[in-house]
């Protein structure tokens, strides 16, 4: 009896479950059953959860998040890209974040969204970046009208004008590239993100530009590449910063347009002429790195040398002759022919090849005085200093028969003129009177020559300054025309931007109406209609976004065009002011030349009168 277990002993070995939260719950029959739901994590709709991909199908992806059932990510909720392949977005075993859209749908499934999780996380990152000014990274997933779409977790729009420092012609080359951009505009309510890669590039190049400015000094010769060509010159990329070669600094000879001698992308060697460190502008010269034709003149030619050239311009007081490219000299009207010339065009025409004698070389002022009439018949010109082909022509002086009458026996006339009077006293008196008159005439001739030389110099300066004034005026007109064209384009683009913005507002309003109708249909239990209306609302909203993006691009382009128009207008005003100043100087020099010419003529007339008296004596 003692060894047999008692009822009390048997009862003591059976454990009675005790109700405990999270472990046991009361079942339908009142018995305690395990609380399996308590072992699963608590999730809420709109919450971002972490899980592992366990299956990838063509239309959905299954994710284990540790819940009582696996979550389902429909194809449309995988990526912000359109028409994606699930296998390209996720892989088996990959850990991802997803947003809980529905804890339990009509089929009892847990519906998740990968793109919305990325969207929420991305927005936080984008908002933080926009606030701090830090850049964001995104891959180009689409090329649209006016720019690029980047995948930032949300769709970011990068306008074409903000892709690079210079406008990009082919946007397709950026497809698939990872770009680093700055957020310049953010609108959460419209899911609108506008980016700028140019701002990043400009920031990166700011230090580089400063380094270039600190390194360069006027007089330095550097290598560069032509980045842009405009009417008034060419811009050169100095490996991080642009400098300007004005059209007047391109060549020693006259250039009508920079495109005559340069093309975009061409490598050039340039000389730094000036640096404005405050405004960060560099003035460059191309001709300074080339052989100076004036140096060739000084080394190869001397006064009294006969050289060949071509008439480039005929003016009232003479003709300009180019003896080397970029080197012109003046043949004054008095040096055109042995006889008196009323109009230089009687003797020479523009384009005529001629041989001329060098009267004077002024290296300091880069001036040449030339003569046509002093070239002796049969004189051979020196070889060209630049090695160019000889014109092998002598000028046709077209001298009249009056200047050299046929049959004139100069020796006989001189002998007759030397015949003496029978009376010696008369000879002495006449000789003394002739000497006095001759000395007087010689003084006046010398004075007339000096006055004539001054008049020639002043006339040359007047012509040069007038040419500068004309060039400046022409450049001013061109710059003003460019400014007007840019302003007109800016107005047109601005009007397009306004139209696009208005269309975007209309589309957005339609999208909101469709969304409201979708909600109403959903509340009424018409799921199909609700889904259809919601899809239409999304499509219209996307159209509204695209229109708004295009409006932003158009507005940015309009602003750029307006800014360029202002710059061109300022350049036009400056050029016009310089042209006016140059024209005033030219007029003053021309007036002084006229005065000196008049003085020279008076002195010459007096000398002729004295010479006539001398002859009579």
For the chain, the farthest-separated pair of C-alpha atoms sits apart, in whole angstroms, at 202
pLDDT exceeds cutoff 50 at 361: yes
Residues 347, 241 share a domain: no
**Strand ranges in 420-568 using DSSP code E only, listed in sequence order:** none
pLDDT of 59: 87
Which whole number is the average pLDDT over 344-373?
90
pLDDT of 450: 64
Q: Which residues of 119-135 are buried (b: 16+ CB within 10 A; e: fewer)?
A: bbebbeebeebbeeeeb
Strand partners of residue 358: 370
Higher-pLDDT residue of 93 and 445 is 93
pLDDT band at 197 (very low <50, low <70, confident <90, very high): very high
pLDDT of 10: 45
Higher-pLDDT residue of 150 and 84 is 150
Say which range, 68-72, 335-339, 433-437, 470-474, has the weakest mean pLDDT. Answer: 433-437
State how far the Cα of 246 lies from the Cα of 231, in Å rounded to an integer. Answer: 9
Helix, strand, or coil here: 320? strand
pLDDT of 292: 81
Burial tier of 58 (Cβ tally within 10 Å: 0-12, 13-18, 19+): exposed
Q: At 166, list the tokens.
A: 């210079």
Q: Is residue 525 part of a domain?
A: yes
pLDDT exceeds cutoff 60 at 345: yes
Cα of 47 vs its chain's centroid, Å: 51
Residues 304, 395 share a domain: yes
Percent of the residues in the chain that have a pLDDT greater than 90, as a whole number: 19
Residues 303, 278 share a domain: no
Phi-psi region of 343 (alpha: psi -120 to 50; beta: other; left: phi over 0): beta
Which whole number is the average pLDDT over 165-181?
87
Number of domains in the chain: 4
pLDDT of 135: 92
CB proximity list for 224: less than 8 A, separation 6 or greater: 236, 237, 238, 239, 243, 267, 268, 269, 270, 284
Residues 598, 466 share a domain: yes
Report in angstroms the alpha-carbon separations of 494 from 37, 296, 500: 61, 55, 10
Which tens digit of pLDDT belongs to each residue from 209-245? 888 888 889 999 999 999 888 888 899 988 878 899 9
Higher-pLDDT residue of 118 and 424 is 118
pLDDT of 501: 76
Q: Are 339 and 403 spatial neighbours (Cβ–Cβ below 8 Å)?
A: yes
Which whole number is the average pLDDT over 539-544?
75
Q: Which of 98, 121, 122, 101 is nearest to 110 (CA)?
A: 101
pLDDT of 320: 92
Question: Tell me, what DSSP letter sits at residue 421?
Answer: P
pLDDT of 348: 93
Phi-psi region of 535 (alpha: psi -120 to 50; beta: other; left: phi over 0): alpha
Q: Is residue 154 part of a domain?
A: no
Q: Are 149 and 141 spatial neighbours (Cβ–Cβ below 8 Å)?
A: yes
Residues 359, 315 share a domain: yes
Residues 384, 267 share a domain: no
Q: Are 329 and 368 spatial neighbours (Cβ–Cβ below 8 Å)?
A: yes
Say which range, 81-85, 124-128, 307-311, 440-444, has the weakest mean pLDDT. Answer: 440-444
**289, 318, 348 — which closes off a domain?**
289
Burial tier of 586 (Cβ tally within 10 Å: 0-12, 13-18, 19+): buried
pLDDT band at 344 (very low <50, low <70, confident <90, very high): very high
Q: Are 188 and 152 spatial neighbours (Cβ–Cβ below 8 Å)?
A: no
Q: Would the CA dihedral through 361, 375, 299, 286 be positive or negative?
A: positive
Residues 463, 409 share a domain: no
pLDDT exceeds cutoff 70 at 357: yes
pLDDT exceeds cutoff 50 at 96: yes
CATH number of 410's domain: 2.40.50.140
Helix, strand, or coil here: 289? helix
Q: At 25, list the tokens.
A: 């719950």
Q: Would the CA dihedral through 218, 222, 228, 233 be positive or negative?
A: positive
Q: Is residue 13 part of a domain?
A: no
Strand partners of residue 102: 111
CB proximity list for 398: less than 8 A, separation 6 or greater: 337, 346, 347
CB proximity list for 601: less than 8 A, separation 6 or greater: 448
Higher-pLDDT residue of 409 and 334 is 334
Which whole number is the average pLDDT over 201-211?
80
pLDDT of 425: 52
pLDDT exceeds cutoff 70 at 293: yes
Q: Is residue 464 part of a domain?
A: yes
pLDDT of 404: 42
Which whole number is the average pLDDT over 428-450?
55
Q: Is residue 236 part of a domain?
A: yes
pLDDT of 421: 40
**389, 417, 445 — which closes off a domain?**
417
Q: Is residue 175 part of a domain?
A: no
Residues 603, 461 share a domain: yes
Helix, strand, or coil here: 63? strand
Which whole number is the average pLDDT over 203-207?
78
Which whole number is the average pLDDT over 181-210?
85
Q: What share of the chain is helix, strand, coil (3-state, %, to 5)?
A: 45, 25, 30
Strand partners of residue 244: 235, 283
Average pLDDT, the chain: 77
State how far the Cα of 429 lies from the Cα of 425, in Å rounded to an integer. Answer: 6
Percent of the residues in the chain that have a pLDDT greater than 70, as a whole number: 76
Q: State the pairing for strand pair 281-285/242-246.
A: parallel
pLDDT exceeds cutoff 60 at 385: yes
Residue 160, CB-side half-sphere exposure with 13 Å CA sphere:
19
pLDDT band at 554 (very low <50, low <70, confident <90, very high): confident
Which whole number is the average pLDDT over 540-565?
77
Q: What is the 3-state secondary structure (H, E, C) of 331-363?
A: EEHHHCCCCCCCCHHHCCCCCCEEEEEEEEEEC
Per the structure, the complete domain to which residue 47 belongs is given by 39-117
Q: Is residue 233 part of a domain?
A: yes
State how far the Cα of 60 lies from the Cα of 74, in Å rounded to an integer. Answer: 4
Residues 285, 234 share a domain: yes
Q: Is residue 492 part of a domain?
A: yes
pLDDT of 497: 73
Residues 605, 485 share a domain: yes
Q: Which of 274, 281, 169, 286 is nearest to 224 (CA)?
A: 286
pLDDT of 137: 92
pLDDT of 423: 45
Strand partners of residue 354: 309
pLDDT exceeds cutoff 80 at 571: no
Higher-pLDDT residue of 81 and 335 is 335
Element of type H or E holding 185: strand 178-187
Q: Which of 152, 97, 155, 103 is nearest to 129 (CA)?
A: 152
Element of type H or E holding 542: helix 527-616
pLDDT of 441: 54
**92, 117, 142 — which closes off a domain?**
117
Which tens digit of pLDDT belongs to each residue from 405-420? 444 444 444 444 444 3
pLDDT exceeds cutoff 60 at 598: yes
Residues 236, 306 share a domain: no
Q: At 35, list the tokens.
A: 């609380």
Q: Which residues of 139-172 are buried (b: 16+ CB within 10 A; e: fewer)?
A: ebbebbebbbbbbbbbbbbbbbbbbeeeebeebe
Higher-pLDDT residue of 220 and 44 is 220
pLDDT exceeds cutoff 90 at 583: no
pLDDT of 80: 72
Residues 579, 466 share a domain: yes
Which whole number is the average pLDDT over 242-259?
86
């Amino acid at each position: 009896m003692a060894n047999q277990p008692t009822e009390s002993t048997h009862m003591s070995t059976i454990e009675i479950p005790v109700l405990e939260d999270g472990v046991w719950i009361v079942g339908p029959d009142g018995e305690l059953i395990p609380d399996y739901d308590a072992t699963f994590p608590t999730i809420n709709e709109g919450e971002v959860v972490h899980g592992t991909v366990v299956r990838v199908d063509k239309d959905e992806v299954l994710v284990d998040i540790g819940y009582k059932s696996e979550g389902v990510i429909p194809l449309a909720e995988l990526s912000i890209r359109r028409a994606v392949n699930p296998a390209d977005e996720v892989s088996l075993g990959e850990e991802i974040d997803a947003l809980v859209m529905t804890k339990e749908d009509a089929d009892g499934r847990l519906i998740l969204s990968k793109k919305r999780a990325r969207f929420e996380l991305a927005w936080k990152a984008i908002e933080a970046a926009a606030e701090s000014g830090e850049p964001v990274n995104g891959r180009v997933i689409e090329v649209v009208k006016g720019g690029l779409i980047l995948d930032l977790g949300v769709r970011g729009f990068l306008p074409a004008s903000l892709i690079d420092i210079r406008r990009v012609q082919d946007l397709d080359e950026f497809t698939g590239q990872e770009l680093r951009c700055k957020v310049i505009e953010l609108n959460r309510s419209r899911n609108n993100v506008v980016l700028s890669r140019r701002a990043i590039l400009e920031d990166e190049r700011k230090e580089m530009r400063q380094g270039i400015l600190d390194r360069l000094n006027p007089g330095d010769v550097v290598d560069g590449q032509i980045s842009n060509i405009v009417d008034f010159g060419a811009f050169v990329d100095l490996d991080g910063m642009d400098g300007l070669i004005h059209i007047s600094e391109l060549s020693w000879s006259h250039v009508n347009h920079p495109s005559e001698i340069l093309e975009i992308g061409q490598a050039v060697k340039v000389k730094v002429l000036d640096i404005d460190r405050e405004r960060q502008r560099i003035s460059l010269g191309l001709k300074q790195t080339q052989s100076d034709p004036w140096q060739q003149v000084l080394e190869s030619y001397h006064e009294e040398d006969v050289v060949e050239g071509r008439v480039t311009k005929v003016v009232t007081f003479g003709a300009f002759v180019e003896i080397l490219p970029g080197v012109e000299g003046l043949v004054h009207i008095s040096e055109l022919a042995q006889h008196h010339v009323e109009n230089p065009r009687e003797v020479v025409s523009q384009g005529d090849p001629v041989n001329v004698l060098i009267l004077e070389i002024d290296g300091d002022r880069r001036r040449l005085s030339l003569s046509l009439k002093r070239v002796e018949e049969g004189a051979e010109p020196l070889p060209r200093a630049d090695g160019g082909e000889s014109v092998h022509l002598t000028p046709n002086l077209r001298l009249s028969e009056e200047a050299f009458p046929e049959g004139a026996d100069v020796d006989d006339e001189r002998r007759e003129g030397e015949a003496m009077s029978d009376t010696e006293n008369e000879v002495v008196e006449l000789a003394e009177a002739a000497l006095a008159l001759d000395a007087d005439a010689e003084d006046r001739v010398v004075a007339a020559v000096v006055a004539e030389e001054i008049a020639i110099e002043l006339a040359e300066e007047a012509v040069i300054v007038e040419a500068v004034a004309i060039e400046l005026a022409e450049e001013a007109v061109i710059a003003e025309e460019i400014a007007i064209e840019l302003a007109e384009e800016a107005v047109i683009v601005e009007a397009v931007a306004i139209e696009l913005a208005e269309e975007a507002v209309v589309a957005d309003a339609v999208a909101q109406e469709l969304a409201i109708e979708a909600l109403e249909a959903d509340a009424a239990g018409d799921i199909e209609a609700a889904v259809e209306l919601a899809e239409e609302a999304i499509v219209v909203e996307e159209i509204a976004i695209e229109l708004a993006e295009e409006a932003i691009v158009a507005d940015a382009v309009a602003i750029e065009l307006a800014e360029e128009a202002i710059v061109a207008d300022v350049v036009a005003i400056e050029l016009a002011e310089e042209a006016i100043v140059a024209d005033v100087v030219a007029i003053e020099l021309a007036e002084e030349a006229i005065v000196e010419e008049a003085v020279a003529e008076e002195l010459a007339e007096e000398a002729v009168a004295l010479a006539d008296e001398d002859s009579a004596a």
